[in-house]
């Protein structure tokens, strides 16, 4: 028996259970919300980059997003271009 036949037999002989069935409506709704979440996260990231470019503090960004400034910096800091330090 080749590998393809082996896996076909495994698939055909698989014992189904109540846990194998999913509610398709819930699946589709959850998938749609996941897509929206991704779009929103991308928008938040864009706005954080713009806010930092306008010198908005991490503390304020964190407050707006419902978290701490440090948490916001850790999450979005890598997206923000570092400004060169001013020389004395």
56, part of any domain: yes
Q: Does 58 reside within a domain?
A: yes
Parent domain of 56: 26-79
Determine, yes or no, domain membership for 47.
Answer: yes
One-character DSSP codes across 26-69: HHHHHHHHHHHHHHHHHHHHHHHHHHHHTT--HHHHHHHHTS-H
For residue 45, is it within any domain?
yes
Residue 83 pLDDT > 80:
no
Number of domains in the chain: 1
Average pLDDT score over residue span 73-82: 92
* Domain-embedded: residue 7: no
Q: Is the predicted pLDDT of residue 70 greater than 80, yes or no?
A: yes
């Amino acid at each position: 028996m080749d590998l393809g036949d082996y896996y076909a037999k495994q698939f055909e002989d698989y014992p189904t259970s109540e846990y194998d069935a999913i509610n398709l409506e819930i699946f589709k709704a959850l998938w749609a919300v996941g897509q929206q979440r991704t779009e929103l996260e991308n928008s938040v990231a864009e706005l954080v980059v713009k806010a930092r470019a306008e010198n908005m503090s991490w503390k304020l960004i964190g407050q707006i997003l419902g978290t701490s400034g440090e948490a916001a910096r850790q999450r979005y800091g890598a997206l923000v271009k570092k400004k060169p330090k001013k020389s004395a």
